[in-house]
Amino acid sequence: MGNSAPESLVNETPDTSGAFPRLTPPQLDRLRTVGRIVPVAEGQVLARAGESFASFSVVLDGRLLVYEGDPVGADALFEIHGPARFVGDIGLLEGEPSFATIAALESGSVLDVPIGELERIVTGDPLLGDVILRAYLIRRSMAIGFGAGLRIIGSRFSPATRRLLDFAARNRVPHRLLDVEQDPAADAIMRRMGLEVADVPVVIVSGSRVLRNPSVIELAQALGLRKAPPAATSDALVVGAGPAGLAAAVYAASDGLSVVLCDAVATGGQAARSSRIENYLGFPSGISGAELADRSTLQAAKFGATVFAPSTVEGLTSDAGALVVRFSDGTSLRPQTVVVASGMKYNRLAVADLDRFEYTSVFYAATIAEARECGTDPVVVVGGGNSAGQAAIFLAGTASRVHLVVRGGDLGVSMSRYLVVQVEDHPRISVHRTSVVVGANGGAHLESVLVEDAASGVREEIVTAHLFVFIGATPATSWLGPDIVRDEGGYVVTGHGATPAGASRAFLETSMAGVFAVGDVRSGSVKRISAAIGEGASVVRMMHEHLETAGYRG
């Protein structure tokens, strides 16, 4: 293990957040029924960074060390675990390779549980399963905040680098940016690994594997995120893995349908980019969008749904009544039903000169990754809804100043009351009411924005390199053909409004038989997470009815 375990660090990593619980004797007894005791020697590696987990390991005797190999050769200590503690993180359950190496700090023994058995425990044993799942989710969040995992070498103002950073953040992959413009470690690593400026952006996986300017698909494959294409036919294809799509996949799969769930980037949709959802039913202390997405994805997989992401759908047609869905990589599927849950795409600010900063300084989400990139710099948040309010509060935790630019004069018109109170009471948030952004200035990156008070006409220049935009969204329906009826806003029409002459449609069915729409993309839907989940669950009954009527199922 080289210099990975300094002699002074001999104590267990303290559990201050629930990330490293110690299992109780009854919980250990439950795991013993499906596992086996394995002796381990000092220095023996149980899991290696970049490789898939062989099993779920619980320490019985001795201690295990979890550490990350660094590209410059110095290993970083993560954790030390003693008896009754377990190792791994959420990637173990999702089929992803480990981003850290796990080795025995001393001779002892572990309880090895096959991953398939662990999956059954997590989804079938509410007490033990939740202890393990909650610990894994917290560990992943900690790893993201710490900047573990991938090393992405590039400029934070480079569109290509930002594309990779955004992909890693949305897929909740631990990563750290080594900025070639200001981080000396970036230059040291490039020289040591024989990399040149022309190779940037570079992704280093597991401390040694180098990807030079990879595409999103190439990065996903290297990380084990993108599985093999699904079978050519299925009972249902759900397009979009936000709350509505995840709900449809979970309930359809639990009803015995064969389900493929696809998304262009990652599971969770826009909800996964919310740092905290405080008004979601059943979670009085709130729940992060990432945790909600991870739990839902595991639930869908539990019932047999196939997750195919990232994968971009390019078209949907009906060939003599048979549905055909085409993907950007050339593959196609022929599902018996399709659920359109593709959600929304963010609106951009119509401001002169802002386009050139679009991929370097403009953000449409505020998560740990964006907060780490901004550091203590002042930021500007544009918008008056809940998303803008949540972003302002979250960013104020690290930024020296948050300027919230709101077109209206009363925050309470479009923002929940609890958020209004938090925004107005925060000492580092300045609210600019009846104001709009009218200009952007800078060279290689954004340096300031010009804000105008519409009531007085007074303009103010605000120094910032980071602009967060939350001004609504438009439906993501460009992949749908003209046979799918949409309203004047581009939202998919369902039910009686979508009915062709002489035909009937279910409440959530579109103008194309067997194609349904749920969530934010649907005309007339309530744009709330709970409502989207409700529609995703409700559509399954209508899918069954279509399959039976069409003669696909007995």
CATH superfamily of 7-146: Jelly Rolls (2.60.120.10)
> Quick check: 388 and 381 in contact, CB under 8 A?
yes
Q: Do 131 and 27 form a contact (C-beta atoms < 8 A)?
A: yes
- CATH code for the part of the protein at 233-345+474-550: 3.50.50.60
491-535 pLDDT tens trace: 999 998 888 776 789 999 999 999 999 999 999 999 889 999 999
Question: What span, in angstroms and rounded, lies between the C-alpha atoms of 251 and 305?
Answer: 10
Q: What's the predicted TM-score (pTM) here?
A: 0.85
Point out the residues of the chain with pLDDT beneath 70.
1-10, 70-77, 502, 553-554
Q: Which amino acid is at 205?
A: V
Helix axes 289-302, 115-124, angle to 10 degrees: 110
Cis peptide leading into residue 310 (ω within 30°): yes
Q: What is the DSSP string of 381-398?
A: EE-SSHHHHHHHHHHTTT
Q: How far apart are CA 438 and CA 434, in angstroms?
A: 13
- Measured distance between the N- and C-terminal CA atoms of the chain, rounded to whole angstroms: 59
What's the CATH number for 354-471? 3.50.50.60
Q: Are 325 and 331 a contacting pair, CB within 8 Å?
A: no
DSSP labels, 280-318: STT-TT-B-HHHHHHHHHHHHHHTTPEEE-S--EEEEEE
Q: What whole-number distance in Å separates Cα of residue 553 and Cα of residue 59?
A: 48
Element (H, E) at 95: none
Say yes or no: do domains 7-146 and 150-223 share a fold.
no
Phi, psi of 521 (to 5 degrees): -75, -15
Structure confidence at residue 285 (pLDDT): 84
Domain 150-223 has CATH 1.20.1300.10: no
The distance of Cα 95 from the centroid of its chain, to the nearest Å, equals: 16
Residues 265 and 309 sit within 8 Å (Cβ to Cβ): yes
User: What is d(CA 152, CA 552) in angstroms, rounded to the nearest whole number?
Assistant: 48
DSSP state of 369: H
Specify the amino acid at residue 360.
T
Cβ proximity of 71 and 192 under 8 Å: yes
Could you read off the pLDDT of 161-213 as tens digits, one per residue?
A: 999 999 999 999 999 999 998 888 898 889 888 898 889 999 998 877 899 99
Burial class (CB in 10 A: 0-12, 13-18, 19+), 278: middle
Query: Is the separation of the CB atoms in 217 and 225 below 8 Å?
Result: no
Q: What pLDDT, on a 0 to 100 scale, did the predictor assign at position 5?
A: 44
Query: Is there a contact between 84 and 23 (Cβ–Cβ < 8 Å)?
Result: yes
Widest CA span of the chain, in angstroms?
Answer: 79
User: Could you give the CA distance from residue 526 to residue 520 in angstroms, rounded to a whole number?
Assistant: 7
Single-letter code of the amino acid located at 222: A
Delimit the domains of the chain by residue range.
7-146, 150-223, 233-345+474-550, 354-471
Give the residue from 367, 188, 160 showing the smallest Cα distance to 275.
Answer: 367
pLDDT at 553: 62
Q: For residues 1 and 77, what is the distance between their CA atoms, to the nearest angstrom?
A: 11
Q: CB of 494 within 8 A of CB of 510?
A: yes
